[in-house]
Structures are given as C-alpha cells and as structure tokens.
Structure 1
Amino acid sequence: MQGQMQQQPLLISSLVRHARNNHPEQEIVTRAVEGGIHRTTFAETIDRAGGVARMLESLGIGFGDRVATLAWNTWRHLELYYAVSGIGAVLHTVNPRLFPEQIAYILNHSGAKVLCVDLTFLPLVDAVRDKLDHLETVVVLTDEAHMPDSDAACYETLLAEAGPGDYDWPTFNENTASSLCYTSGTTGNPKGVLYSHRSTVLHSFAVCAADGLGLSSNDAVLPVVPMFHVNAWGIPYAAAMCGAKLVFPGAALDGASLWELLDQERVTISAGVPTVWLGLLQYLQAEGKGLPHMNRTVIGGSAAPEAMIRTFEQDYDVRVLHAWGMTEMSPLGTVGVLKRDIAEKPFEERLPWQLKQGKAAYGVEMRIVDDEGNELPRDGEAFGHLQVRGPWVLSGYFRGEGGDVVDADGWFDTGDVATIDARGYMQITDRAKDVIKSGGEWISSIELENIAVGHPDVAEAAVIGVAHPKWDERPLLVVIAAEGRTVDRDALLESFEGKVAKWWIPDDVVVVDEIPHTATGKIQKRTLREQFADHYMT
C-alpha cells in the first residue's frame, strides 16, 4: 500500500516562488563591483529573475543548455542562480582563480553557449575567447554607464528589453540538472559535478536545519565563500527557503570591507575559509573593532586552527561552526553543531569537539574503511579512508570523466583520511595523498599544521612528507613568518612537545615567503613535495 501524499517536484523555482510569496520584503545587500552599496529585496530580485529568464530565451537558451558565469557574490549573480535553473537550463559557475587554460577547458567541456561575466573578469574572458568552441554570447554584468569598449552585450540593457515581472516557471522532473561546478583540478583537468534540482532543494533543508547551519529568517547572512564555487555552500538557495537577509561582499574581501558590512548590516552568521577570517581578525585586532551582531561563523575548506577558534569565541563572542564537505557533495557533509551536554561544558572541555569537522547532516551517510575496504570502528582512534553516500552526493562526474567513482553500494571515496568517534563526530586527519607514512606508521599533517599556526611567530604552515633514508618519510614543516616576527627553528619544534607523539614532531623547519595554493584556497602540497623532495636526502 502506498501513501496518499502529493508528488510535487522539488525544483529551484519552488524556492523562488516561496521566497516571492513569503518574504518579499527581505533585503539583499551587495557591495557592487562598480562601487557603492546596492539594496534590493527578494521581491525585486525574483521579478528581475523573471526578466532574466526571458532574456536567456531570447539568446537561444533552452532546456538543458549551459549558461556560464564568471562573477562575484552579487545580486545579479543571484538573479542568474534563480533564472537559469528555473527555466530548465544549467547554471555553470566558473572559478576565476583557475588558470586561463583550465577556464577554457571547462567552458569547452561544459558546452556553455552564454557566458555572464563581471567587469573584473572581462580581461580574462578576452584572453581565452578565441579558444572557446561553443560560446555564442558574452554578457557583461553591469549597466550601460559602466560598459567597457567591448563587443559583449550589456546585462541591464538586455534585461530592460526583456522586461522584468511575473514569469511562468515551467514544471519538469526534479532530477533535471540544475547547476554545474568543476573541481579545482590539482591533478589533471578539472572534473564537472552536475547537481540536480532535487539534490539542491534537499541540500537547502540541511543548511536551514538546526543541526545544519541553522539558517533562518532571523538571520542576516554574509557568504564570503564564493558563488563561483560549489554554490556558495548552498546559501543562496537556503536563504530563499528560510527568508534570511543576504549580504554579498562583491569583490572586496579585505578585513576592513568585510567588517563594514558585518557591522552596518548587522550580520549574524557568515561563512568562509580560514584565510579570509585570518585577514578579518588581523584587521579587528589592529583597529580595535568588534563583532557585536555576529553570533556564529562557519569555517570550512580547510581546518580552522585552534588559535582562530579561541580568538573568535574568547575575544569576540562568536561561536565557530566547523563544517566539512566537497564539490562532489554539494558541498555540505558535516557540521560541528555541539550536542547539548557538550555545548554546556566550559570552553576548554568542549574545544576538542569544536576542532573536529562535526557530525553528518541528515542525508549524508559516512564511514571509514581500511585499505582493503573493511569498515573501521567509530572510536575516535581508528583512522581510515572516509566514504560517503546520500541524495546530494555525486553518482559520477559530468560526461563520465574519471569512470566509475562509486562502488556497488553507492559509497564515494572522498580522498580524505578521518576518524569518527562514538558520538558521530568526524575529524579529518589528512588527505589520503598527503598522509605521512614514517616507519610504517601514519602521521597527520593537519594536526601538526594546527599546532604550528598556533605559534605566535607563524602566519601559515604546511607539513609534508619528504623521503628519508631510514624512515621512508619524515615530516617537514614549511612556514611563513608572522608579520614583524622571526621564526626560531628550535623554539618552534619545542612547541610540539607534549602535544603529539615525539616521533610525529617534524625533523626540520623551512621558512618561505609564500606557500602555493589551489584555485579554491587549499595548500598545494604536491608542489611543496616536489620543491623539497631531497631535503632529507642531501
């Protein structure tokens, strides 16, 4: 016997209609690329999205066609988020931090017919334009007053010609593709992850859930995490679902610009990677500023250092929510929401849980396995390969790249090495390709890095495994000195004593001016391993 409930498809247009009907007055604030602060509402944004839908149709965009964007977090980008997917086309967000050759590759691979680009990135488009095989139209996300000398079309002019207003969003299968994001491609070409309407709406429920990010109509949210990568962690869709105020930083991600928006717009929650928050904290400390409105911040992309968690909570009364996920997971996998008995503990006693990446959001199953695929215990001690499955986890890469990436039971190997404790909290100990194997034992580079960046003389740290004549590999600590400080090798290594096993402590320290990063801000350890391959062998 089957239930007698209605079968309404989970479509992004349903989020759009819900926002228009239930929180039309809610503000959307942007630091515009052209300068100044732009203010609008969900009602105006969705009415304009209807016009954008007509505009796209006039450009020949139909069901399943790809529309690419090279754009910051702005209200115009949000209009495209809603309009492109709403008509059954696919929104292909492109990361401008990729190499030009990679950008040309993924635009060709996706088959994008229209590219919408912010003024900042127009030179990047011009540099690769003659390499783009399928692109028919470039649209600059600005008005006529700010249009450069270009043969590209003006977004506001096209929108005015189409006319904003009601649009009859079509109904189709909820498994229809909605958006496309490519991995950062640290090895080989980037691979595309194709999200569906169903996966996106279900993911939005997780973002709004109390044990997720807890986003609600009482929040003003500033997503520093970019809309050009993994849908800004799903916040643009979740805000439409719950009615949160959206505050977009545009191109200005420096500490002063972020603080101004956080303060003036009374932002309660933000989300970003550790490097962004490091810049904000440095600004706050230098200028004596505070964060009177913000009560929590979500940190992902890489582990939040203990010193950062301490500073946010003890100096600014902001609770850090650790989160973990990946492009292949839409991206939300775990969130560091503390269970009641843990949350009530004094700071020092709950800190070990806050340092973990959190517990799985409902909809994500996870497990750890050994090299033979045997499931390992949830005891917080055993660490193994982290695998996931669920309704917003990929089943395969776009166009079949990479072959079969899930096993017969649907498990996807994340490439991370992790522990899971008895209460469900997961902690990443390393990327599988970065784990250090010394004398047959595993060493966590992430744990060593967290200790290093807690030292006052260190601004950023990376730990890599380097070939060693006796132990196969030994850890090497690569650091950037904090501004105005000098790194003392022996003193830094002494700071590890008593915090990890003695044989975990790096054998040496190298001070550098710069540590290489990927387009998504992650440390390029492969480059460091190549650079220091013979460090212990000479």
Structure 2
Amino acid sequence: MLGLMQNRPLVLPHIFHRAERYFGHKQVITATAGGAVAMSTVADVCGQVRRLATVFDELGISSDARVATFCWNTEEHLALYLAAPCTGRVLHTVNIRLFPEQIAYVVNHARDEIIFVERSLLSVLWPLADQLPEVRYFVVIDDGTDHEIPDSARILSYSSLLADSTPFDGAFVVDDENTAAAMCYTSGTTGNPKGVVYSHRSTVLHSLAALAADVLGLSERDVVMPVVPMFHANSWGLPYAALLTGAGVVLPGPNMSPKALLGLLADHRVTVTAGVPTIWMGAAPLLADYDLSALRYILCGGSAVPKALSEEYRQAIGVSITQVWGMTETSPIAAACTPRTQYAELTTQEKAVALARQGQAVPLVDLRLVDPDTGADVPWDNHSTGEVQAAGPWIASSYYNSDDQQSSFTDDGWLRTGDVGVCDEFGSLLLVDRTKDLVKSGGEWISSVQLENEIMAHPKVSEAAVIAIPHERWVERPLACVVVKQGESMTTEEVIRHLSARVAKWWLPDAVEFIDAVPKTSVGKFSKKTLRARFENYRFPDQGAPV
C-alpha cells in the first residue's frame, strides 16, 4: 500500500519563492571594506536573482553550468546562492584563500563557465585567467574599492549586467531533487582539494534541520550573522536556513577584524552567529566593550572549541559557545551540543565540560565509532575511541570526478571522517583528535586536542598546537607550540607545571616551543601540516621521556 501524499521535489526554488512571498520586507545588511553598512532587503536580493536568471541566458551560460563565486559574505553572494541553483545551474563557491595553483585546479576541475568576483579580489584571480580556458566571463562585483580592472572582453560588470537585463517573471522550476545544486571543495590540506556536490534535496533537508529546536532553532525572529565564509561549506548552511525561515541576515563583508565583527553583532542586535574558534579567540578580549545582549547562540565549529574559551564567553556575556560539528562532506552540520536534560543537574563546571563536547547527531544523521584496525563498532562508554563515521541524506557518498573514494568511504556507504572520538551513554560525541594528529607514544595514543585545550586554559596562553615528533625510543612524543598573550611572558616550566595536574605524566610534552602565531589553513583552522613541516628535523633536548 502506498501513501497518498503529493510527491513534490525538495528543491531550492521553494526557498526562493517562500522568501520572496513572505519575507521580502526582512533586512539584509552588508558591511563594506570601508566600514560602511549597505542596507537592503530580501526583496532586493530576490530582484537580483530574477535579473541574474536573465543574465545567464543572455550570456549563453549552459543550462547546467557550474557558476563560480570568488566573493566575501555579501548581498550579491547571497543572490548568487539562489540564482545558480534555481535556474538549474550549479553554484561553485571557490575558497579565496587557496593557493593560486589550487584555485586554478578547482576551477578547471569543476569546469566553471563563469566566475563572479569581488573587485577587491580580482587581483588574486585575474593573473590565473590564462590557466582557466573554460571560464568565459569574469563578472566583477563593485565592492567600493578602487582596485584596477583590466581591459578585457572576458571581464564584465555585475551592476551593468543587472541594469541592462529584464527580470525573469516566471516561477523557477527544478524537477529532480537529486540534481546538483552546489559544490564546494575541501581545503586541500593533503593533496588536491576534493569536490563535494550537494543536491537540491540534501540542501533543503539540511536547511530544515537547522530550524529544529535542538539543532540551531532558527526562526523568523532571529537575526543571523554568518562569520564563517560563504565559500566554506556553504557557510554551514546558514544563508539557506535563514531565507527559509525568514530571519534577518547580516553579512560581514571583507573586514573580519574583531572590532568590526563585534560592532556588527552589537549594532544590529544579532541573535545567532557562527565562526571558527580563531574568530572567537580574537574577539574574546574585547567582549566587555560591546552590548551583545541579543545573542542567544554563538556557534563554533571547524575544530574543537577550548573549554576555557567557551567559559570566557559565558562569564563575559552570559552566553557559552555552542559547538557544532561537521565537515564539507557533511553539508556540514552533523552534530550539535545544545543543552540536554541529562546534564541539567550538573554543576557549572561540570556543565562547561559537557558543553565542550561536539554533541549528539542531529536528526536524520547517524554516527558510529569504528575501530580502524578491526572495523568493529566501538562501545559508547565515554572511554573507548574510534574513528567517527557518518551517514545521512546530506552526507557525501563520493567525491566529484575523483579516484580517492575507497579511503574516504566504507563498503557499506558510510563517510570516514578522519576524526577520532568517544561517545558517552547518551551518544554525545567528543572528538579527541584527527587520525593524522594523534601522537603514538610507546604504543599508546595521546590526544593532541586535549593537550591543546588544557594548555589554552592557562591565562597567559593565546593559542597552542601540539604535534608529534619522531622519537628513537617511544616512536613519537608531543611537542607543544605555544603562543603567549601580548604583554605576557612564559617559560617551559610554567607550561609543564600547569599541565601536570591535568593530564597523565606520560602525556606531558617533551618540549615547548614558543612561537608568534599558530599557522592557519584557508578556512581558519590550525595548520598542523605547516607546523610539522617547520619542525620536521626537530630533536628533543633530551631523548628521554616521562615514565
């Protein structure tokens, strides 16, 4: 017996038409490079979408073309988020922080036909033009800067194209919900970046999940400011979720300084914001200078959030940082650490520990822990570690046009995330490391993430990263790379003394190197690959180890 429900596809045109019909009055605010704020509305964005639909056709862009963006978080970028997939094309958000050869690789690998680029970023992209033969046009978005625009038939003006076009006046239709809506490439920390292709169905379901109370709980009453770049896993799905529910949107543009971000949060009464830990680390010293009383969620992901950082926010503004976990391959939200009744009776400090977890799998996502050697499931006892594997309707099943499939996907179709974690009896995930970042000392594993979190709990420490260094006796031992806060001084002995009461003796780093800053990846995560290269010939002062 079949159900008697209408079989209508889950596609992004629904989000567009819903936003246009119900929420045209809602504000879309974009900060410019010079600090000014451009006030707009959802109706204005939808108007751009309709004109872009005509522009694509007039320029002869293929009906299923990849439409690339090389942009900051702006109103125009938001319009392109809808215009490409609603016309049956595929949005490709290119990471502006990739190395030039990686930018050329992903644009050519995706076979982009057209690229929309901010004027301030054209100087990064245009030198690669001769290496991008399939890109027919570079459409420049005027972001208020005065960067030179070369004279070329391949370079067009965004504002001129829209001014000269007639808005498409019909309904956008995508018949098959499984067709591609967008694609995003991994950050390429090892080898070439890999393409992840999101379907209309996966994107709509992910947007709906973000509205669930135990995920992000977004509503029409919210004002959302995604600090996480719109070129990074579709800004964690926040633009689509905000448009679906009718939330106001604040877009920070190119100025990502702590003062600029905190000013936007305060001035526009933002209720939900999201970014990687390094963003919130930089803003923490300035919290007392801004009225952030409207905030109810500060979302953080990309890497584990130090408990000390979350507590710093709770004490300063009354709002802890909420961890969300995922990756490009999971669209990306796969787990969220929102409050749960089982932790309600804990003390303040115990709750802080609980909130430092990555949390439970969000609805429709399944997670499991697997022993990488035996393939057996690992028990949820808050002690046994295993590789985190994920499955669900917005989890990647393979990479786009790639030979690297077997190492990332299991025979039964689960994504191998490369993260190592434990789960408590309630299924709350706690990441202990990346498989490639664990330190194997004397046959036992040391969690670099836990060591980093404990080091960063010291009031003098700004950042810390721990890497494995080869050791003649123990195979590997941990080296702590520590950044001291401005105006402070610190010794190796202070770091070790601080850790001694917090971790097992054999976990203590064999040495501490004080550095100016922990290098970052293109999406703001700590780049341990860079640190490992820097210290590849390092030898510990004493080739012994704690016993």
Give the alignment of 1:339-488 within 5 angstroms.
Answer: 339-343=340-344, 345-370=346-371, 371-404=373-406, 405-488=408-491
Instruction: Return the offset for 1:180.
Output: 0.8
Amino acid at match of 1:338: P
1:492 corresponds to 2:514:
no
Is the contact between residue 140 and residue 147 of structure 1 (CA under 8 Å) also seen in structure 2? no
1:100 is matched with: 100
Cα distance change of structure 1 residues 177 and 250 upon mapping to structure 2, 3 Å threshold: same
Map 1:23-102 onto structure 2 (within 5 A): 23-33=23-33, 36-102=36-102
Q: Given the superposition, is the C-alpha separation of residues 344 and 267 from structure 1 closer, same or farther in structure 2, using an over 3 Å criterion?
A: farther
Deviation string 1:161-197 (CA, Å, 9 cap, x unpaired) is 1134634212320000011100111111111101100
Matching residue's letter, 1:111:
R
- Which string of whole-angstrom CA distances, capped at 9 and with x for unpartnered residues, describes residues 178-237 of structure 1? 111001111111111011000000000111111111111111111000001110000010
Q: Output aligned runs, 1:52-201, within 5 Å.
A: 52-142=52-142, 148-150=148-150, 151=152, 152-164=155-167, 166-201=169-204
Other-structure match for 1:274: 277
> Aligned pairs, how many?
536
Deviates more, 1:257-266 or 1:161-170: 161-170
Q: Secondary structure at the match of 1:398?
A: coil
Cα shift at 1:319? 2.8
Q: Could you give the per-residue CA deviations for residues 402-431 of structure 1, whole angstroms, max 9, x where no partner exists?
A: 134422321111011111111010011110
Contact 2:276 2:525 in 1 (8 A): no
- State the SS of the aligned residue for 2:500: coil
* Cross-structure match for 1:215: 218
Q: Distance in 1 between matches of 2:370 and 2:144?
A: 57
> What CA distance in whole angstroms lies between the structure 2 residues aligned with 1:162 and 1:343?
57
User: What amino acid maps onto 1:354 in structure 2?
Assistant: L
- 1:328 aligned partner, one-letter code: E
- CA change 1:339–1:118 in 2 (3 A) is same
Tell me which residue corresponds to 2:265: 262
Letter paired with 1:391: P
CA contact (8 A) 2:33 2:145 kept: no
Contact preservation (8 Å) 1:419, 1:428:
yes
- Asked if the contact 1:144/1:156 (under 8 Å) is kept, the reply is no
Question: 1:503, 1:489 → 2: CA distance?
Answer: 16
Label 1:143 to 1:477 Cα distance change in 2 as closer, same or farther (>3 A).
closer
CA contact (8 A) 2:463 2:517 kept: no
Alpha-carbon contact 1:255-1:282 (below 8 Å) kept: no
- What's 2:545 paired with? none
Out of 523, 527, 530, the residue aligned to residue 527 of structure 1 is 530
Cα displacement (A) at 1:32: 2.7
Write out per-residue CA displacement over residues 410-468 of structure 1, whole angstroms, 9 at most, x where no aligned residue: 11110111111110100111100111111111110000000111112221111011111
Quote the Cα distance in structure 1 between the aligned partners of 2:281 and 2:145: 36
State the secondary structure of the residue aligned to 2:184.
Answer: strand
Letter in 2 for 1:61: I
Q: Distance in 1 between matches of 2:491 and 2:87?
A: 59
| Alpha-carbon distance in structure 1 between the residues aligned to 2:339 and 2:380 | 18
1:399 aligned counterpart, secondary structure: coil
For residue 433 of structure 1, give the secondary structure of its aligned residue in structure 2. coil
Q: CA deviation at 1:25?
A: 1.2
Q: CA RMSD in A?
A: 1.7
Q: Deviations over 1:354-395 (max 9, x none)?
A: 010111011211111112211000111000111111111111
**Alignment match, 2:333:** 332
Give the unaligned 5+ runs of structure 1. Answer: none
Give me the whole-angstrom Cα distance separating, in 1, the residues matched to 2:410 and 2:261: 43
Identity of aligned residues (%): 42
Aligned partners of 1:308 and 1:105: how far apart in 2? 37
Partner amino acid for 1:473?
E
Q: Which residue identity lines up with residue 214 of structure 1 in the other structure? A: G
- Cα deviation for residue 276 of structure 1 reads 0.8
What whole-Å deviation, never above 9, does each CA across 1:29-81 have from its counterpart, x for those lacking one? 11134652111111221122111111112121233210100000011000000
C-alpha offsets along residues 232-257 of structure 1, whole Å, 9 cap, x if unaligned?
A: 00001001111111000001111111
* Partner of residue 237 from structure 1, selected from 240, 245, 250: 240
One-letter identity of the residue aligned with 2:455: A
TM-score (norm 1): 0.96
Question: CA distance change for structure 1 residues 527 and 36 in 2, over 3 Å: closer, same or farther?
Answer: closer
**Structure 1 residues 256-265 or 28-37, which shifts more?**
28-37
Whether the 8 Å CA contact 1:191–1:401 is kept in 2: the answer is no
Q: How far apart, CA to CA, are the structure 1 residues paired with 2:244 and 2:345?
A: 30
Residues 345 and 519 of structure 1, relative CA distance in 2, 3 Å threshold: same
Give, in whole Å, the separation in 1 of the partners of 2:29 and 2:168.
Answer: 20
Change in Cα spacing, 1:157 to 1:295, as seen in structure 2 (3 Å) is same
Work out whether residues 66 and 113 of structure 2, in 8 Å CA contact, stay in contact via their aligned partners in 1. yes
Deviations 1:491-513 (A, max 9, x none): 11111122111111111100112
How far apart are 1:143 and its partner, in Å? Answer: 7.8
- Tell me whether 1:307 sits opposite 2:308 in the alignment: yes
C-alpha distance 217-359 of structure 1, shift in aligned 2 (>3 A): same
